[in-house]
Structure 1
Amino acid sequence: MSRNVLKSSIHSASINIVFQIMSRCITFGINSFVIRIVDREALGIMNVRLLLLEGSLAFLSREAIRRATLSSTANPHEKHIWPHIINQLWLSLPIYCIFSGPCLYIWFNQSIFGSPIADELYDQYKFGCICIVVSGIIELLAEPQVFVAQVFCFVKLRVVLDTLHIFVRSTLFIALVLRDPNQAIFAFSIAQVGSTATFAIGYYVYFIYYINRLNEVKGDKKHAADKTDDGLTTDEKKPESDDSIPFNSIKQMLPGYLENSGTIFNENLQTLVLSFFKQGFLKQVLTEGEKYVMTISPIMTFSQQATYDIVNNLGSLAARFVFRPIEENSYFYFTQTLSRDIPLKQHSREKIEQASSVLYNLLKVVTSIGLIGMVFGQSFAKTVLTLYGGSRFVEDDGLSVILLRWHAVAIILLAINGICEAYMFAAMTSTELDRYNYHMGFLSVTFLFLSYQLTSFFGPVGFILANCTNMFLRIIFSGIYIRTQYQSVDLKPLDGIIPNKLFAITLTVLGITCIISENRLFRHSILAHVVVGAICFACTAGVWAYENRTLIRSYILKRGKSL
């Protein structure tokens, strides 16, 4: 299995985006159906309280370890690195169990923390919390397999199992909800455990099969080599280079099984994990800050939380199925291309120029997507909400349209921030990461303060305004870091943020056209307004493609070679 990092990253990002679009379309349809039959308070509990518990535990136990170990696999075929990596990955499980106790205590005691839960929903809620913890434990049992699949670019495997995970969860949830809509939280919890178990079992089954087949192939090659002419010298009988995974048994993915250099954990890796944990903890507060504020303070009822979460999910669709896969694979590419312990100017000129070119083009793409989302979001927020939740949903909550329009504004900041931070976190040394944690600490405190204060003045819109402020400050910091790095090599990858002139003019004119269309056509025919928007979008995309035809041609060439 030949491993080309750039081609594999492009391939993985492309398939992940397609998968995310598909999975989000499924989720979109399910949620649109559920909104109409499930109580709004139950939706708030599932989508805010329970999913926040899942995300918090996953972050506390896994995120820092996964990021740090990725940085240790620039050459994953070196077998001596894997004992420490496998042991480090398995450390996620006891960490998860340690944190699950305090988290369950906080989530159970709603008389102390957050809005009270109705008595008729409390048993379901408690069962849901327990199921979230159980599903997290099951998922971590397959963490080494998931990590190996990512490092060795098993793209199709990840897509198949992620698709299976979504399918099982959706099928179980719908089947159980249709039987009794009043037991929606029970249905959500059972679906969560069932889908996670399917996901974990799938990874074990595949790698058992894959390693057995790999051993058979190696055995056949060895048998064939033994039959070669004995007149050859030892040097002439050198085996072919082996690009396969460095495991001969599924047992070698268990902790303590592989022989190591005398230590259970690598000290440098532990230091990097700690740095990522401190930085990630603050980033988690910044990313999910509004949900933590809603959870620990009674400023919004569960019904209001459900409305905010529904709009928030719609507003963050671009981040989930486009920006996140790009960000994850960008981080993977930069960690494998640049060494964080070597100054940028000491890398080979070829690597520096390639990294700069990739960063420039990534910023060009995500900025353009963000601008399109921001402009068209102003004239299609009401249309999307009407189609998603029905006219009653829009009429019952007049703030929903305003919230979605503000989310559209936040998209551009979200897009730029994700790529800049992916590069920065891949290139920073452990010392720089520790130093950055102090800045993140300041941003976290500022964000929580702004969230609470702005929400008091502007209602739920305050959360979005606080988020925009937070992302803007983070972009400034990461932009200064990137500009400083590339000044020494006379390259300017941050210029990718600047949109092309023709694209900017076209987007402005057609954006105004869509606003006029909403004011004049929407009340008479939603279809007519959608048609106008589709034509305007096609024209905008065509202009962008024309101005960036070299980039598209290069992408098609790389994408074709990766297949």
Structure 2
Amino acid sequence: MSRNLLKSSVENASFSIIFQVLFRCLTFVINAWVLRHVGHAVIGIMNVRLLLLESSILFLSREPFLRACLGHKNGPTWPQVINQMWLTLPISVVFSVLFLYVWLHVLSLGHPEYATQYAFGCWSVAISCVIELASASVALVAQIFCFVKLRVALDTVHILVRTVIFLAILLYDTNKALIAFSVAQVFSALTITFSYYVFFHWYIKKLNQYRRTKDAKFEKHFQYMEDFPFKSIKEFLPQKHGQIETLLDAQLCTLTVSFAKQGFVKQLLTEGEKYVMSVSPVLSFSEQATYDVVNNLGSLAARFIFRPIEESGYFYFTQMIDRDIEIKEQEESKVSESCTVLRQLCKIVTSIGLIVLVFGQSYARTLLLLYGGEGFVGSGLPVLLMRCHCLAVILLAINGVTECYAFATMASRQLDRYNYLMVFFSVSFLLLSYVLTNLLGPVGFILSNCINMLARIFHSTYFIKNKFKDTAHQPLEGLIIGKVFGGALIGAGLICKVSEIRVSPYSQILHVLGGSVVLVMVMGAWAYENWELLEFVYDKYVTKKRGDHLKSKDE
């Protein structure tokens, strides 16, 4: 393809980040409103049970085919690829029937008053998945040929349609929340499927016109699409002509089966907590809803701060360190610089995690009170979960940076072994979650996650320490905080806890303002101890950008 794939990938990542932020802000506001007007049990049924059904059907039906077909270059023809993607439809029907039986007859509901709405919801989610997969071939083409703005626009429309319909029905009758959720799922799936076909019908018509006329006014839009192989919207449908052995590509089928095996494990590990919640009879839907809300709020730092740091760090370390060469045999300047960067990243994420841990103990109730109201925090369970989750945040931060370095610098054989070890960690996490949840309730999920993170941190730090054992570099020193910052954190924790006990019952505003002042003092202590790091960042980026700007003006 003559189009710029790198540029399209960067655009896709940028749009995805912006879309995620906007989507999270929207769902944050909606969920806060729903918490105040809908029963917690209903929220648990929607956010855990029904969304898990959707995730299970869509991921297992689509992911193996998508990953296999996205990587196709030579061999399969486009009709074979389209036929392969259309297999997702009958497979989704099979999974829908299987999971519907499990969701309706095996997994207990425990709320007979919601039985009718729940059954309607399960059927609606399954139907919406089948409808959405009717556009799987078109969505694949849009991704391969870099229709980035189209995909972002349709994802936005998908979310907006679902949100508007859900809120419209809910405002009419708050007792029909599950019905509102179900109807919104079906209509949003219809919208995105219909929109894909309408757009490509219009696009192919205009492209064919440009090919005939070479009209200059269309050149901007179609000059890099000469290799677009489709001449009609009908070519997105299954191809019936030809011999049976040519309808599908054998190599592509084999690759799909391989991805399907991985997909089952990946889905189990990704949604492991929700599967345990659904199977375990210990957690009620109200407790599931509480855990889901707290988990989403507590994961904001991981999504918006730690994850970008990990992704950028992974790319940097892969460029600086060679996987299959001993560290002492590599270029010393690169090794030294990468070691410094790792130490500073460890220091930054550890500091952020400790701030979250300290202030979270005194402001968890305030945050949840603002988010869900007095009725949500009244039981005390959400506050306990949030405080425990603050410990998980710091472990998540440390694990993210150390593991990203390990993944980026492990030799190929080490990486293969670690993939099996990750499966062991994940399966152990599921078993531990089941045991601790039965003993401790929702807190068991967080504790099992903390234990899992500690095990992974131990493995990653052991790898890093072993890698630098014959050198003078000590990158893990970044995990040790300074005395000034540590003392400031201890003082801040005591002040904020006193404020929570003495001030918070009378004025949440004063409690928050006092905490803000203390936070500024803590950050000042950190800046004092890490002034060299701040100067380095300023000289490296701010001064450089200013110089580039002046240089461009002179030119």
Pick the TM interval, shorter chain. Answer: 0.7 to 0.9
- The match for 1:228 is none
Partner of 2:444: 462
Matched with 2:41 is 41
Question: Are 1:451 and 2:433 matched, yes or no?
Answer: yes
CA displacement at 1:189 relative to structure 2: 0.3
Match of 1:124 among 112, 117, 120: 117
Counterpart pick for 2:270 among 279, 282, 287: 287
**1:116-142 Cα deviation digits (max 9, x unpaired):** 433321111111001111111122222
Correspondence 1:311-390 to 2 at 5 A = 311-319=294-302, 373-390=356-373
CA distance in 1, matches of 2:354, 2:257: 36
Q: Does 1:107 align with 2:103?
A: yes
Give the 3 Å change call, closer, same or farther, for CA 537–251 of structure 1 in structure 2.
Answer: farther
1:183 is matched with which residue: 162, 167, 176? 176
Per-residue CA distance 1:459-517 (angstroms, 9 max, x = gap)? 21111111222344455667888999x99xx9x9x989869979976994796365555
8 Å Cα contact 1:327-1:419 kept in structure 2:
yes
Q: Equivalents in 2 of 1:254, 1:454: separation in Å?
A: 49
| 8 Å contact kept, 2:65–2:88 | yes
- Whole-angstrom distance in 2 between the partners of 1:310 and 1:460: 12
| Equivalence for 1:3 | 4
Any idea what the Cα deviations from partners look like across 1:191-247, whole Å, max 9, x if unmatched?
1111222223233333333444444445454999xxxxxxxxxxxxxxxx9744842
Native 8 Å contact 1:522 1:528 kept in 2: yes
SS in 1 for 2:163: helix
Moved more, 511-520 or 385-394: 511-520
Measured at CA, do residues 265 and 455 of structure 1 come closer, stay the same or move farther in structure 2, by a change above 3 Å? Answer: same
Which residue pairs with 1:134 in the alignment?
Answer: 127
CA displacement at 1:424 relative to structure 2:
8.8
Counterpart residue identity of residue 103, structure 2: W
Give the match for residue 232 of structure 1.
none
TM-aligned CA deviation for residue 539 of structure 1: 7.9
Change (3 A) 1:381 1:223: closer
> For the pair shown, which has the larger CA radius of gyration, 1 or 2?
2
Asked if structure 2 preserves the Cα contact closer than 8 Å seen for 1:503 and 1:540, the reply is no
Mark the CA change 1:92 to 1:362 in structure 2 (over 3 Å): closer, same or farther: farther
Q: Please tell me the residue identity of whatever aligns with 2:381.
A: L
The aligned amino acid for 2:436 is L
Whole-angstrom distance in 1 between the partners of 2:240 and 2:401 = 37
Give the equivalent residue in structure 2 for 1:52.
52
Give the AA of the match of 1:47.
N
Q: 1:270 aligns to what?
A: 254
Q: Deviations over 1:132-187 (max 9, x none)?
A: 11111122222344344445554433332222222211111111112222221111
Task: Select between 252-261 and 167-176 the one with higher mean Cα deviation.
Answer: 252-261
Distance in 2 separating the partners of 1:258 and 1:497? 64
Distance in 2 between residues matched to 1:86 and 1:11, nearest whole Å: 26
**Local SS of the residue matching 2:271:** helix
Name which structure has the greater RCO, CA cutoff 8 Å, separation 6+: 1
8 Å CA contact 2:346, 2:398 repeated in 1: yes
| Partner-residue secondary structure (3-state), 2:249 | coil
**Cross-structure match for 1:231:** none
Q: Given that residues 279 and 433 in structure 1 are in contact (C-alpha distance below 8 angstroms), is that contact kept between their aligned partners in structure 2?
A: no
Q: What SS is found at the alignment partner of 1:299?
A: coil
Q: 1:201 to 1:151 in 2, by over 3 A?
A: same
Partner residue of 2:188? 195
Q: Which residue of 2 aligns with 1:247?
A: 228
Taking structure 1 as reference, are residues 245 and 522 closer, same or farther at Cα in structure 2, changes over 3 Å only? Answer: farther
Find 1:526's aligned residue among 491, 500, 508: 508
CA distance in structure 2 between the partners assigned to 1:11 and 1:24 by the alignment: 20
Change (3 A) 1:525 1:501: same
| Partner Cα distance (1:555, 1:91) in 2 | 53
Amino acid at match of 1:307: T
Q: 1:327 to 1:132 in 2, by over 3 A?
A: farther
Structure 2 Cα separation of the partners of residues 552 and 266 of structure 1:
51
Distance of 1:385 and 1:554 partners within structure 2: 41
* 1:92 maps to 2:93: no
Please tell me whether the aligned partners of residues 32 and 389 of structure 1 are also in contact (alpha carbons under 8 angstroms): yes
Correspondent of 2:198 among 205, 209, 230 = 205
Deviates more, 1:50-59 or 1:87-96: 87-96
2: distance between equivalents of 1:369 and 1:269? 46
Relative to 1, partners in 2 of residues 1:448 and 1:410: Cα closer, same or farther, differing over 3 Å?
Answer: same
Q: Partner amino acid for 1:46? A: M
Rounded to whole Å, the distance in 1 between the matches of 2:351 and 2:492 is 14
**Which residue of 151, 160, 163 corresponds with 2:153?**
160
8 Å CA contact 1:172–1:187 kept in 2: the answer is yes
Contact kept, 8 Å, 1:24 with 1:321, in 2: the verdict is no
Change (3 A) 1:472 1:95: farther
Q: Distance in 2 between matches of 1:421 and 1:257?
A: 48
For the 8 Å contact 1:3–1:152, the answer to whether it is kept is: no
Report if aligned partners of 1:50, 1:132 keep a CA contact under 8 Å in 2. Answer: yes
User: How far off is 1:383 after superposition?
Assistant: 1.3
- The answer to whether the Cα contact below 8 Å between 1:381 and 1:404 also exists between their aligned partners in 2 is yes
Contact conserved, 1:87 with 1:264, CA < 8 A, in 2? yes
Once the two structures are superposed, what CA deviation does each residue of 1:16-51 show, in whole Å capped at 9, x if it has no partner? 233222222221222222222222222221122111
| Residues 1:381 and 1:253: Cα distance change in structure 2 (over 3 Å) | farther
Provide the C-alpha distance between the structure 2 equivalents of 1:177 and 1:160, rounded to a whole number of angstroms: 25
Q: Cα distance 1:209–1:533, how it changes in 2: closer, same or farther (>3 A)?
A: farther
In the other structure, the counterpart of 2:287 is 304
**C-alpha distance in structure 1 between counterparts of 2:491 and 2:47, whole Å:** 35
Q: What SS is found at the alignment partner of 1:388?
A: helix
Extract unaligned runs of 5+ from structure 1. 225-240
Secondary structure, counterpart of 1:117 in structure 2: coil
CA–CA separation in structure 1 for the residues paired with 2:444 and 2:396: 17
Equivalent pair of 1:13/1:326 in contact (CA under 8 Å) = no
Stretches of structure 2 that go unaligned for 5 or more consecutive residues are 550-555
The one-letter amino acid paired with 2:107 is F
Asked if structure 1 preserves the Cα contact closer than 8 Å seen for 2:288 and 2:442, the reply is no
What secondary structure, in the 3-state scheme, does the structure 1 residue paired with 2:283 have?
Answer: coil
Instruction: State the Cα RMSD in Å.
Output: 5.1
What secondary structure does 1:197 align onto?
helix
Q: Describe the shift of the 1:421–1:277 C-alpha distance in structure 2 as closer, same or farther (beyond 3 A).
A: farther
Summarize the alignment of residues 199-238 of structure 1 with structure 2, pairs less than 5 Å apart.
199-221=192-214
2:376 aligns with 393
Shift of 1:302: 2.1
Q: Which amino acid aligns with 2:124?
A: C
Are 1:279 and 1:434, in contact at CA under 8 Å, matched by a contact in 2? no
Partner of 1:172: 165
User: Equivalents in 1 of 2:408, 2:144: separation in Å?
Assistant: 15
